[in-house]
Amino acid sequence: MTTSIPLQTILLVEDEKELANEIKIEIERLGYLVRMASIAEAADAARVGDVALLIMDRLVFGEDSLETMEVLRKEGVKVPVLMISALSSVDERIRGLKAGGDDYLSKPFAMAELAARVEALIRRLDDVRTTKLHVGDLEMDLIEQTVHRGSTRIDLLPREFKLLEYFLRHPGQVITRAMLLQDVWHYHFSLETNVVDVHISNLRKKIDIRGGASLIVNIRGAGFMLNDNA
Amino acid sequence: MLEFFRSPAVRVAIAFVVATTVATTGIFGMVYLQIKAADQRSNRLILEDEATKSVNHSVDELKYAFEVRLTHGLRRLDYAALFSADRKVMFGNIDELPRIPVDGKSHFVAASPVPGGDNRMEPAIFVARTRPDGTVLLLGRSLLETLAFRRIVLGALATGLAPMLLLALAIGAFFARRASRRLTTIHDTIASIMKGDMHLRLPVRSQHDAIDKISRDVNLMLDEIMRLLVQIKGVSDNIAHDLRSPLAVVHAQLERGLENSDNEELRAVARQALAHIDKAMLTVAALLRLADVEYGPKSSKFQTIDLSAICADLFEFFEPLATSKSINMALEIQSPVQILGDGDLMREAVSNLIGNAIKFTPEGGSVRVSVAQEDGNPLVRVRDNGIGVEPAERDKIFQRFYRTASGHRVPGSGLGLSIAAAIANLHDFDLRFDDNHPGAVFEMAGRRK
């Protein structure tokens, strides 16, 4: 980050002080400016438009932030919103997403999980018309549904293709196992097994060059990352 | 069968049948004996009366009277004879004086030669009386007719008794069956409640008998237990709820400390602490998840989902994990098996079962996932040949936090099966365990409607 570019601002609506403080510390480490706000303050700032992301607890001082978010979306405010909530049921998650939330994180969560999701939302590629994705000499053709590494064609199973596509769309970002489960497999529950790791390792075997550095690296305590400097 | 006779209701019924039989037989017996006695008395009196009257008649008159009586059968006299003082027959239809006292009283002779003498014998009663001239008058009557009459009466009584007994038996059996069926229902209900279906109650009918009274009391007791359970669960859910933020905060602070410290000793401790906090967070999340499943979703939001598609999808998801453990994984699905349900939750339940199967199956083993309609009911079956579950632990594996002795080495919250069972229950499915000799079979089957 150079000093000439102003820091992007993230508004945090969370009434549990200690948790809010930890979230602030964690996200500021990522290079963002975090401001604590009430629901009303957050809504006003979002309308003005100088906010990169809203992090909102569902219940703040007994008030449900869902209604405010619905109002914002109706007004056409497009600021990404990450909802964090004590309400973890499937129904509540769906309600949160329907009301206009972009992601939904249930308490308790690890800060690494929150950080990864914040990055994913802020650096989200809005251009869905992209037909080709690249990293290094790896190229994915979304129309032909093919993957090449240099001139070598790599055959992937449909799910492996989706998995790699997800990484290519989030280059250089930390991707957690929960995010992969949620976005690649559309599973909305936690797993007590390391299935995702096995899928990643299978994918690596196919896309990595023998003896070379791995395109997808493990991030200790958090998840994985596509190495976009490769 | 032995069990059947041991039931108190059946015993009461048998006692009822025996009592009815004894009473009925007694009454019928009394009737018979009374009829028999009355008949005997009248026979005797007639004979004795005749003998008394005949004493003062002359011999000629007697002779004439006998002929008339014997030929016309008046007052049903079958035997009549006059014997001289030295017991020689003078006239009459019997040649020899029977061996009875000559006292004007009737006596029973079991076998007397039938007059007309073709050596037939018959039972009879006789009266012998000395006349003033020293001759002996003998009058007699065959009992053949009387015995026949008694036999008819006895027969009639016996024919009456048989339906009586059958009726008693039928009534007894009916009540025994009804009572034992009630007891069986109560027993089955209690068994289901003990298995964890705490919402069941004992059947209470409108009658106010002893069983109903006890059933009502037991139901009240169950209500109270339920109330306490909900209270305890509420407390534990609240604890889990309140632990979330502190856990997240501690987790974050430890991580931060870990990153900012160069003290290797401290870092090692912090890493250990983080691992434990991770475990605690996993448990708290699973506990809240369980509460969400138990109290959250409404079946009114259910949609048509295909169990076959869900299992095929999960199969594809889990197969690489199985392969990495050299476990052979197979999928057997039929055409769509559709139910009304929540796809996300069903996926979660089945993923718990498949995840467990892979977790508890050693290298080289196999895990089979199948979906079928069995007897018209949807069924998901996950079968492995892993370590299985000890018989003593089978009842407990669905309890919250229960980890089998062998499962303790494998990480997990101990709530996976509880969550799967709660999800199954929400869908009107039962989650059952069976032995696979070796290994485990978990079946999630739709309840019969």
CATH code for position B128: 3.30.450
* 3-class DSSP assignment, residue A176: strand
Domain boundary among B295, B321, B340: B295
CB < 8 Å & 24+ apart, contacts of B106-110: B106/B43, B106/B44, B106/B47, B106/B48, B108/B143, B109/B140
Run of H or E residues at A113: helix A111-122
B358 and chain A in contact, CB less than 8 A = yes
Contact B252 A90 (CB under 8 A): no
CATH code for position B267: 1.10.287
pLDDT tens, residue by residue, A157-188: 999 999 999 999 999 999 999 999 999 999 98
User: How far does A22 lie from chain B, in Å, by closest CA?
Assistant: 6
B413 and chain A in contact, CB less than 8 A = yes
Average pLDDT, chain A: 87
* 3-class DSSP assignment, residue A173: coil
* DSSP state, residue A52: S
Q: Are residues B144 and B39 in the same domain?
A: yes
b (16+ CB within 10 A) / e for B2-24: eeeeeeebbeebeebbeebeeeb
Q: Would you state the pLDDT for residue A1? A: 44
B424 and chain A in contact, CB less than 8 A = no
Q: Is B36 exposed, middle or buried (0-12, 13-18, 19+ CB in 10 A)?
A: middle
Contact B355 A18 (CB under 8 A): no
* A171 vs B111: CA distance, rounded Å: 126
* B336 vs B338: CA distance, rounded Å: 6
Q: Are residues B316 and B280 in the same domain?
A: no
* B236 vs B77: CA distance, rounded Å: 104
- Touching A: B residues 206-235, CB under 8 Å: none
Q: What is the ipTM of this complex?
A: 0.87
**CATH 1.10.10.10 is held by the domain A132-226:** yes
Q: Are residues B36 and B88 in the same domain?
A: yes
**CATH 3.40.50.2300 is held by the domain A9-122:** yes
Number of domains in chain B: 3
Q: Are residues B321 and B277 in the same domain?
A: no
Contact B252 A198 (CB under 8 A): no
Q: In what order do the strands lie in the sheet with A146-149?
A: A132-135, A138-141, A146-149, A152-154
**Helical spans, DSSP H, in A30-108:** 39-48, 66-74, 90-98
Contact B249 A187 (CB under 8 A): no
- Of residues B349 and A209, more confidence is placed in B349
Q: Which residue of A has its CA nearest to B244?
A: A108
Q: Would you state the pLDDT for residue A2? A: 44
Query: In this structure, are residues B399 and B290 in contact, taking their beta carbons and an 8 Å threshold?
Result: no
Q: Are residues B274 and B403 in the same domain?
A: no
CATH code for position B322: 3.30.565.10
Q: Are residues B261 and B322 in the same domain?
A: no
In Å, the largest CA–CA distance within chain B is 156
Contact B348 A187 (CB under 8 A): yes
Domain containing B66: what range? 10-148
- B342 forms bridges with which residues in the sheet? none
Q: Are residues B314 and B267 in the same domain?
A: no
Q: What tokens were used for B27?
A: 């009454």
Q: Are residues B365 and B314 in the same domain?
A: yes
Domain boundary among B295, B319, B334: B295
Interface test with B, best of A14, A17, A22 (most B CBs within 10 A): A22
B390 and chain A in contact, CB less than 8 A = no
Question: Which residue in the set B253, B285, B348 is minimally distant from A22, CB to CB?
Answer: B253
pLDDT value at A128 more than 70? no
* 3-class DSSP assignment, residue A127: coil
What is the bridge-based pairing of β-strands B136-142 and B79-83? antiparallel
B347 and chain A in contact, CB less than 8 A = yes
Matching fold, domains A9-122 and A132-226 = no
Residue B216 lies in a domain: yes
pLDDT tens, residue by residue, A42-61: 999 999 888 899 999 988 88
Per-residue pLDDT of chain B (449 residues; tens, 9 = 90+): 566 666 666 677 778 778 887 887 888 888 888 888 888 888 888 888 888 877 777 878 878 877 777 766 555 677 888 888 888 888 888 888 888 888 888 888 877 777 665 677 788 888 888 888 888 888 888 888 778 877 887 888 778 777 877 887 888 788 778 877 888 888 898 888 887 677 888 888 877 788 888 888 989 999 998 888 888 877 877 887 788 888 888 988 888 888 888 888 988 999 899 888 988 888 888 888 888 787 765 666 789 999 999 999 999 999 999 999 999 999 999 889 999 998 988 999 999 999 999 999 999 999 999 999 988 899 999 999 988 888 777 777 777 777 666 665 566 677 888 889 989 988 989 998 888 888 889 999 998 76
User: How far does B240 lie from chain A, in Å, by closest CA?
Assistant: 10
In Å, the largest CA–CA distance within chain A is 59
User: How far does B321 lie from chain A, in Å, by closest CA?
Assistant: 5
Residue B423 lies in a domain: yes
Q: Would you state the pLDDT for residue B92? A: 80
CA angle at A190 for the pair A185 and A191, rounded to the nearest 5°: 85
For chain A, the structural domain boundaries read: 9-122, 132-226
Domain boundary among B148, B167, B195: B148
- Of residues B135 and A86, more confidence is placed in B135
User: How far does A170 lie from chain B, in Å, by closest CA?
Assistant: 22
pTM of the model: 0.66
Cα B194 → chain centroid: 20
Query: How would you classify residue B433: left for phi > 0, otherwise alpha for psi between -120 and 50, otherwise beta?
Result: beta
* DSSP state, residue A212: S
User: How far does B435 lie from chain A, in Å, by closest CA?
Assistant: 23
- Of residues A156 and A230, more confidence is placed in A156
Compute chain B's Rg from CA coordinates. 47
SS3 labels along chain B: CHHHHHCHHHHHHHHHHHHHHHHHHHHHHHHHHHHHHHHHHHHHHHHHHHHHHHCCCCHHHHHHHHHHHHHHCHHHCCEEEEECCCCCEEEECCCCCCCCCCCCCEEEEEEEECCCCCCCEEEEEEEEEECCCCCEEEEEEECHHHHHHHHHHHHHHHHHHHHHHHHHHHHHHHHHHHHHHHHHHHHHHHHHHHCCCCCCCCCCCCCCCHHHHHHHHHHHHHHHHHHHHHHHHHHHHHHHHHHHHHHHHHHHHHHHHHHHCCCHHHHHHHHHHHHHHHHHHHHHHHHHHHHHHHHCCCHHHCEEEEHHHHHHHHHHHHHHHHHHCCCEEEEEECCCCEEEECHHHHHHHHHHHHHHHHHCCCCCCEEEEEEEEECCEEEEEEEECCCCCCHHHCCCCCCCCCCCCCHHHCCCCCCHHHHHHHHHHHCCEEEEEEECCCCEEEEEEECCC
Query: In this structure, are residues B274 and B258 in contact, taking their beta carbons and an 8 Å threshold?
Result: yes
Neighbours of B119 (CB within 10 A): 6
